[in-house]
């Protein structure tokens, strides 16, 4: 496949041309010297069969940037999706994608998406197939309709990302072009790489282009005014972000007094577990070209640099840390790439963060190292973490990812050191069969969460998984493709205590109408829950199960909807008590630009274990209800109005209090433990006006609150009562403008 792609590119390449006008109209003259691509094949379903709808594209390097054009034939008997979408949309609409790795080493890629109605999305691709849409880049696009086809032109400037210098006037990049038909979900691409496979970035088509370089200095000052309607107080803030790229091999991003913004609203979460909730970051400085710092492990969301730590909850417990300044350097020298990250918070409880990243690519492998350090003077604590990551592709079918991590913590003069390691092997076999092996070890004193994120340490985990894809379904089937997976896994802590043995069976299905379906069953053996009591004993728990089903249907007519349902057991009752959960969220489209959604969720858990203190736990019957609602109005190409509401009510009725004995058994206790209930609210109205690319005016009204009560109440009553909460209520106006030099 790779050789065929290279031969095709060599035959089509005629050399660079001048500037193109990005107006959506693919003129024969302006694209005559471009590489013309027509060999699109199906990647959803992953049959590698020729595209069912004619699709062609053009690619060429110009002094202004990488230029790409698509022409997508779509007869009128194939429904056109006319839905307007916001930036970084996820809706199932007609769209095209350019995925490009500017260094061609399979380390970091960039995804640029354009919908048929003109909406855009962009994302960073790391670890072969992990997409993160927090980043917003500055690039040009245009869409045009002509008869039974729609065309797209894109221009990706060379300053969009750091990239190597090339040699002898030539730079090798790799890329993929693809198209999605919204009404059917069919995806066609060139080359036929798929993110449903373990390797994705590494399978892009390599092309050689002339070396172009652009310099850019962008300064984005902001000013925001906030009025607290509860405390009747006002605050005025200002700051600036700076982006400087003098050439392709060096890039500097800096910020002074960055704004948390309050323009994005995180989803509400009620968390009584010992595991921290992971939250993504939308602040521009912390998302700009962050891909070089991507050091993750297969453990959920784990990473050595978790930017939400910077400006997160202060060490003295008094609100969030106040960031004075931060700076980030990205660049390359020869075949190696580097990144430097520094941030400093003000005040006695302020922290200092630092990170150094180095990566080096070889023919069929790449090697990297990352060093982080955090100084926390208020806690008299210094944390240093070193990680080494190695990605190896010994054959076209086998990929191996390995990580080594060590932490060194100095807390008030007492030093603690420990290590961790992961190995992840994927093997793609004949006839769409795949195997996967994963092993993870995290020592009980390994600590990453001063700057990184690790859901838990003190862990040894291994699994073996076998998968079979059925991509070529019969013509009468409602499915385009299905993917079955079976997994066996074992989890112990680092002291040899059995936590879990599990068998998992799952099926993922993509339907011919563009819908998505997923079902999963887990059968869990008995073991111990060693985190519940926060270090005051491990609790023996019996075997249990959970069965989950999810169905998402994209817009058809005026309606779209998604739903999920789950049955599960657990707690001390095991399989003797079964709980249920369900969620349903329909969306109604008043027009292509205006939609409203309402979601309802309900959960009933018959035996919910909640820690109280030391080795005392309570077994509760939990009932919770949630209401979500939203309105999205894309007024025009520059204006949008968004309304978002979330309310959760949780009720817990005590069944029995227990003490956890030394042998792990739960012993009934007469210690007083109360019923309790929780209600929480989040409400935001946000208006955004785009003054210029990456320059915005925001007007945001927000209100929210959280309240716990030492008595029970019906969950739907709690949801209703949550509308009276008013812990926070504020009006924010923020203006930012990007000046480019």
Tell me which residue has tokens 């993504």: 280
Q: pLDDT by residue (tens digit) across 648-658?
A: 999 999 999 99
440: Cβ–Cβ under 8 A, 6 or more apart, which residues?
297, 298, 299, 420, 421, 422, 459, 460, 461, 462
Dump the DSSP string for 398-423: EEEEEEEEEEEEEETTEEEEEEEEEE
The answer as to whether 70 is a domain residue is yes
287: preceding bond cis by omega (within 30 degrees): no
Three-state DSSP state, 92: coil
Of 308-312, 404-408, 456-460, 549-553, which range is least confident? 308-312
Structure tokens at 423: 């190995």
pLDDT at residue 281 above 50?
yes
Torsion of CA 303, 108, 391, 509, to 10 degrees: 80
Rounded to two decimals, what is the model's pTM? 0.89
| Whole-number Å distance between alpha carbons of 686 and 283 | 16
Domain final residue pick, 212, 227, 249: 212
The H or E element that residue 222 is part of is strand 216-228
- Model pLDDT, residue 261: 53
Cross-strand bridge partners of residue 356: 340, 371
- Model pLDDT, residue 288: 81
667: Cβ–Cβ under 8 A, 6 or more apart, which residues?
658, 659, 660, 661
Which 8-state DSSP code applies to residue 158?
G
Three-state DSSP state, 392: strand
The answer as to whether 276 is a domain residue is no
- Model pLDDT, residue 12: 37
The answer as to whether 286 is a domain residue is no
- Model pLDDT, residue 14: 36
The answer as to whether 235 is a domain residue is no
- Model pLDDT, residue 7: 37
The answer as to whether 46 is a domain residue is yes
- Model pLDDT, residue 18: 55
- Model pLDDT, residue 1: 42
The answer as to whether 670 is a domain residue is yes
Percent above pLDDT 70 for the chain: 97
pLDDT at residue 11 above 50?
no
- Model pLDDT, residue 134: 84
Q: What is the mean pLDDT of residues 587-596?
A: 97
pLDDT band at 3 (very low <50, low <70, confident <90, very high): very low
Question: Are residues 107 and 175 in contact, defined by beta-carbon separation less than 8 angstroms?
Answer: no
Which 8-state DSSP code applies to residue 453?
B
| Whole-number Å distance between alpha carbons of 153 and 401 | 36
Which 8-state DSSP code applies to residue 301?
T
The answer as to whether 574 is a domain residue is yes
pLDDT at residue 100 above 80?
yes
- Model pLDDT, residue 284: 82
Number of domains in the chain: 2
- Model pLDDT, residue 523: 98
The H or E element that residue 180 is part of is strand 170-180
pLDDT at residue 509 above 60?
yes
Structure tokens at 80: 């056109």
Cross-strand bridge partners of residue 531: none
Domain final residue pick, 212, 230, 258: 212
Domain final residue pick, 196, 212, 228: 212
| Whole-number Å distance between alpha carbons of 545 and 566 | 11
Q: Long-range contacts for 199-202 (Cβ within 8 Å, ≥24 apart)?
A: 199/128, 199/129, 199/393, 199/399, 199/426, 199/428, 200/125, 200/128, 200/129, 201/101, 201/106, 201/107, 201/108, 201/109, 201/125, 201/128, 201/129, 201/174, 202/106, 202/128, 202/393, 202/399
| Whole-number Å distance between alpha carbons of 323 and 342 | 11
pLDDT band at 165 (very low <50, low <70, confident <90, very high): confident
Q: What is the mean pLDDT of residues 106-111?
A: 91
Percent above pLDDT 90 for the chain: 82
Closest CA to 77 of 186, 183, 185: 183
Structure tokens at 265: 């609203």
pLDDT at residue 544 above 90?
yes
The pLDDT mean for the chain works out to: 93
| Whole-number Å distance between alpha carbons of 524 and 357 | 39
Tell me which residue has tokens 């089509």: 12
Write the CA distances from 355 to 383, 640, 680, integer angstroms.
Answer: 12, 37, 36
Burial 134-163 (b: 16+ CB within 10 A, else e): bbbbbbbbbbeeeeebbbbbbbbbbbbbbb
Domain assignment of residue 72, given as a range: 2-212
395: Cβ–Cβ under 8 A, 6 or more apart, which residues?
none
User: Would you tell me how many other CB atoms lie within 10 Å of the CB of residue 438?
Assistant: 20
The answer as to whether 383 is a domain residue is no
pLDDT at residue 262 above 70?
no
pLDDT at residue 512 above 80?
yes
- Which domain CATH number covers 162? 2.60.40.1190
Q: pLDDT by residue (tens digit) across 176-192?
A: 999 999 999 999 999 99
- Model pLDDT, residue 670: 96
Q: pLDDT by residue (tens digit) across 25-67?
A: 998 899 999 999 999 999 999 999 999 999 999 999 999 999 9
- Model pLDDT, residue 162: 85
Structure tokens at 519: 């079902």
pLDDT band at 213 (very low <50, low <70, confident <90, very high): confident
| Range list of β-strands (E), 305-413 | 323-333, 336-345, 352-361, 365-376, 381-392, 398-411
């Amino acid at each position: 496949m790779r050789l065929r792609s290279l031969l095709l590119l060599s035959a089509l390449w005629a050399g660079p041309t001048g500037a193109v006008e990005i107006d959506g109209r693919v003129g024969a003259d302006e694209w005559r010297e471009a590489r013309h691509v027509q060999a699109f094949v199906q990647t959803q379903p992953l049959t590698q069969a020729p595209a069912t709808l004619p699709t062609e594209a053009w690619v060429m390097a110009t002094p202004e940037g990488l230029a790409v054009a698509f022409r997508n034939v779509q007869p009128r008997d194939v429904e056109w999706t006319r839905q307007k979408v916001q930036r970084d949309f996820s809706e199932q609409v007609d769209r095209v994608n350019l995925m490009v790795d500017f260094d061609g080493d399979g380390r970091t890629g960039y995804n640029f998406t354009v919908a048929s109605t003109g909406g855009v999305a962009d994302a960073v691709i790391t670890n072969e197939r992990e997409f993160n849409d927090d980043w917003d880049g500055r690039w040009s696009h245009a869409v045009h309709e002509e008869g039974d086809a729609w065309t797209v032109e894109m221009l990706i400037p060379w300053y969009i990302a750091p990239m190597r210098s090339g040699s002898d006037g030539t730079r090798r990049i790799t890329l993929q072009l693809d198209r999605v038909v919204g009404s059917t979900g069919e995806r066609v691409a060139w080359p036929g790489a798929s993110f449903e496979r373990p390797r994705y970035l590494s399978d892009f088509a390599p092309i050689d282009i002339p070396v172009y370089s652009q310099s850019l200095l962008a300064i984005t000052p902001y000013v925001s005014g906030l009025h607290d309607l509860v405390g009747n107080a006002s605050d005025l803030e200002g700051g600036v972000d700076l982006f400087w790229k003098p050439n392709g091999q060096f890039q500097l991003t800096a910020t002074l007094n960055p704004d948390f913004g309050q323009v994005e609203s995180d989803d509400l979460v009620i968390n009584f577990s010992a595991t921290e909730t992971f939250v993504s970051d939308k602040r521009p400085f912390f998302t700009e070209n962050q891909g070089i710092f991507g050091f993750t492990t297969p453990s959920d969301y784990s990473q050595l640099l978790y930017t939400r730590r910077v400006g997160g909850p202060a060490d003295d417990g008094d609100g969030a840390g106040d960031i004075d300044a931060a700076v980030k350097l990205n660049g390359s020298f020869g075949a190696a790439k580097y990144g430097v990250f520094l941030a400093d918070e003000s005040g006695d409880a302020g922290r200092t963060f630092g990170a150094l990243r180095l990566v080096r690519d070889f023919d069929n492998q790449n090697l990297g190292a990352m060093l982080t350090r955090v100084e926390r003077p208020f806690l008299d604590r210094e944390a240093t973490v070193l990680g080494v990551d190695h990605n190896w592709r010994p054959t076209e079918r086998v990929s191996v990812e390995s990580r080594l991590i060590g932490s060194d913590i100095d807390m008030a003069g007492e030093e603690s050191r420990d290590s961790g390691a992961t190995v992840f092997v994927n093997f793609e076999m004949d006839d769409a069969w795949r195997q996967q092996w994963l092993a993870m070890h995290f020592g009980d004193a390994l600590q990453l969460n001063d700057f990184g994120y690790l859901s838990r340490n003190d862990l040894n985990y291994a699994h073996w998984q076998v998968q079979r894809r059925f991509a070529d379904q019969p013509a009468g089937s409602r499915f385009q493709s299905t993917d079955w997976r079976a997994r066996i896994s074992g989890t112990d802590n680092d002291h040899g205590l059995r936590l879990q043995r599990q068998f998992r069976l799952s099926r993922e299905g993509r339907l011919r109408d563009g819908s998505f379906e997923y079902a999963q069953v887990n059968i869990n053996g008995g073991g111990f829950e060693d985190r519940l009591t926060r270090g005051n004993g491990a609790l023996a728990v019996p075997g249990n199960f959970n069965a989950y089903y999810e169905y998402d249907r994209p817009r058809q007519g005026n309606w779209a909807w998604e739903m999920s349902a789950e049955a599960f057991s657990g707690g001390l009752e095991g399989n003797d008590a079964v709980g249920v959960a369900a969620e349903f969220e329909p969306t109604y489209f008043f027009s292509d630009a205006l939609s409203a959604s309402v979601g309802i969720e309900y959960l009933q858990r018959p035996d919910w274990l909640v820690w109280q203190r030391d080795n005392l736990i309570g077994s509760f019957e939990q009932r919770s209800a949630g209401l979500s609602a939203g309105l999205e109005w894309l007024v025009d190409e520059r204006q949008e109005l968004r309304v978002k509401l979330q309310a959760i009510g949780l009720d817990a009725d005590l069944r029995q209090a227990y003490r956890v004995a030394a042998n792990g058994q739960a012993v009934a206790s007469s210690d007083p433990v109360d019923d309790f209930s929780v209600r929480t609210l989040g409400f935001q109205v946000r208006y955004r006006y785009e003054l210029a690319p990456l320059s915005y005016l925001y007007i945001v009204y927000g209100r929210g609150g959280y309240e716990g009560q030492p008595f029970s109440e019906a969950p739907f009553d709690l949801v209703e009562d949550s509308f009276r909460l008013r812990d926070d209520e504020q009006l924010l106006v923020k203006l930012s403008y990007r000046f480019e030099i």
